[in-house]
Chain A
Amino acid sequence: MNAPVSADLTALSMTEAADAFARGEASAEALVRASLARIDAHDRTVNAVIRLDREAALEAAASQDRARAAGETPGPLAGAPMMHKDMYYRAGKVSTCGSKIRRDFVAPVTATVLQRLDAAGAIDMGTLNMAEFAQNPTGHNAHFGDCHNPWNLPYCTGGSSSGSGAGVAARFFTAALGSDTGGSIRLPATICGVTGLKATQTRVSRAGVMPLSFSADNVGPLVRTARDAARFLRVVAGHDPKDPTSAREPVPDYEAALTGDAKGLRVVVLETGFLDGADAPVATAFEDSMKALAAQGAIVTRANAPEIMRAVNAYTAVISRVEGATIHGNWMRGRAGDYAIHLSARLYGGYAMPGHTYVEALSRRGPLLRRFVAEVMGGADLVATPTLKTRVPTLAETDIDADPANWDRFMAVSANTRPFNYLGLPTISVPCGFDDRGLPIGLQLAGRPFAEGTVLRLADAYQRVTDWHRRAPALP
């Protein structure tokens, strides 16, 4: 993996940057200065950044450079510039959560994932724009301004990790944490043309992370390649005593699983509800991706599961709304006017749902997961769908505060991603094409529980024979 170091250091992926640093081909300071210069040049139009910790980033980079010069072995992410969705707490720093309500909230603790990234040598440059309290799939934000798609500015970025997707796509930094409760990593990944990984539910600690839904929240990376995601996940995954819900499963070397070999992997395409009715450019790009995988030796079959998916979708809606309403109860009682209209309206509905329906939705989760794996996946290793089955909408087309008639288009954005949160399965989105307006299209791959290695292996194999993930937008 010894990619030649580009004159433009922002062209390097996360693993390329860390490897270049480790080999002494690029200093951490040079990597950070290149990122800062690109942000300075282009964030006025993209609006991905909420807080830029310029001096702290340069100090951290200098520390990495000194350590390397002293002969210390660099961490696996050493020197790689990153920024993170503004809901990962760092003690003593403001974490706005994209909201007016928490505009001045100073975090009392540091998130476990940030501690693990720090220990791996990653350079944290600050915080990123996001949907208010991570509560919409488009990335609209009434308080910090909408984030814009680097490929075409009037178009939405996807959400809720809007700044994470837009910033990685714009080459502002090499990697970003997002969070995913209904698609909030995978949607900005697909819409901005980058790679996004939601691991198995419980795989990554949520300690020190703003909650949205106790049952379905996930922490994960937006990066440029499956290899980046593999290295990043190995650093942040694993049990955390501060998050008793985090799994005790051992964390494998995910990069070692990237053999480039797709031969014999069984992939089932979900048609009903996921592929039917897809916009033509999306359907074409998706089918082309299946042909590419088949050409590499994967065995591609088709399946339908309308009954199971209907139940999954209904219960998903119940859980996310009830848990969101509960978490926001105090603010809904006292500061409801400080939310965007669509958010307070959505939270309000959660109070109308009976407790027994919520418990029913939770208790069906295990049985539905068992049925999905047995009846839908059968003997397959992976499930494939488009990540978003429509072309990317504009910010205006999905602004429900400006026009409630946009509701259906707004909700359709997350139709293909939400079910995998209820099911808890590891799921990745990788770029697989562009539509006729020059906006990215994504391929979604899901695996069995804790099969992140297999998901990453197939995604990496696909990226070895395609170059969609290597393309960069021309920024104004």
Chain B
Amino acid sequence: MEPDLVVPTMEAIRRWAGVSVPNAAARQGLADMAGLIAEVEAVRAGMVFEDEPSSFEAALADLKEPAR
């Protein structure tokens, strides 16, 4: 995420989850999350889904291999 959002995010995590940043790698990991955020944004922009809720378990059952 953007560098100026890292510290506020750390504070939000501390308030919501009670977890403090454990090490420098964790702090860097927050900064690196920009890539994942961009991927999620790209998916939203590129794919259209039916409104939820939908059931994964129902999809598993519906898509079973036809009997051989």
Check A373–B17 contact: CB distance below 8 A: no
| Contact assessment for A342 and B25 in the assembled complex, using a CB-CB cutoff below 8 Å | yes
Instruction: Answer yes or no: A341 CB below 8 A from chain B CBs.
Output: yes
B16 & A351 in contact (Cβ 8 Å cutoff): yes
Chain A interface, >50% SS class:
helix
A288 to chain B, nearest CB (A): 27
> Cβ of B29 and Cβ of A346 under 8 Å apart?
yes
- Asked if A448 and B36 make an inter-chain contact with CB atoms under 8 angstroms apart, the answer reads no
A363 to B50, CA, bound (A): 10
Choose among A345, A346, A449, A451 the residue with the greatest number of B CB atoms under 10 Å from its CB: A345
Within A321-369, the residues touching B (CB, 8 Å) are 325, 329, 332-333, 336-337, 339, 341-342, 344-346, 348-349, 351-352, 357, 360, 362-367, 369
Question: Would B65 and A317 count as touching, CB distance under 8 A?
Answer: no
Contacts of B53 in A (CB 8 A): 363
| Cα separation A337 to B23 with both chains bound (whole Å) | 9
Interface assignment of A286: CB less than 8 Å from any CB of chain B? no
CB atoms of A351 and B17 under 8 A apart: yes
Interface size range of chain B in the complex = 35 or more
Q: How far is the CB of B67 from chain A (nearest CB, A)?
A: 11
**Chain A hits for B61, CB < 8 A:** 449
**Are B56's CB and A310's CB within 8 A?**
no
Checking A202, A339, A342, A404 against B57 with a beta-carbon cut-off of 8 angstroms, the contacting residue is: A202
Question: How many angstroms between the C-alpha atoms of A349 and B13 in the bound complex?
Answer: 9
Residues of A within 8 A of B16 (CB): 351
Closest Cβ of chain A to B35, distance in Å, is 10
Against A, the Cβ 8 Å flags (1 = close, 0 = not) of B1-39 are 100000001001100111111110110111001001001
CB of A366 within 8 A of CB of B56, answer yes
- Among B18, B19, B63, contact of A370 (Cβ-Cβ < 8 Å): B63
- With A and B bound together, what is the CA distance between A314 and B46 in angstroms? 13
Give A contacts to B, CB under 8 Å: 200-202, 247, 249, 307, 310-311, 313-315, 317-318, 325, 329, 332-333, 336-337, 339, 341-342, 344-346, 348-349, 351-352, 357, 360, 362-367, 369-370, 373, 381, 400, 404, 424, 447-451, 453-454
In the complex, 11 of the A-B residue pairs with CB atoms within 8 angstroms, ordered by the A residue number, are: A200-B60, A345-B23, A349-B30, A351-B13, A352-B30, A366-B58, A448-B65, A449-B61, A449-B63, A453-B68, A454-B65
The 9 A-B pairs at the shortest CB distance, nearest first, are namely: A345-B25, A348-B26, A451-B65, A336-B22, A345-B26, A366-B59, A314-B39, A363-B52, A344-B22
Interface positions of B (Cβ within 8 A of A): 1, 9, 12-13, 16-23, 25-26, 28-30, 33, 36, 39-40, 42-43, 46-47, 49-50, 52-65, 68
Known: A310-B42, A451-B64. 20 other contacts (CB 8 A): A310-B39, A310-B46, A311-B43, A315-B43, A333-B19, A336-B20, A344-B23, A345-B28, A348-B29, A349-B33, A352-B13, A363-B49, A363-B52, A369-B56, A369-B59, A381-B65, A424-B56, A449-B60, A451-B65, A453-B68
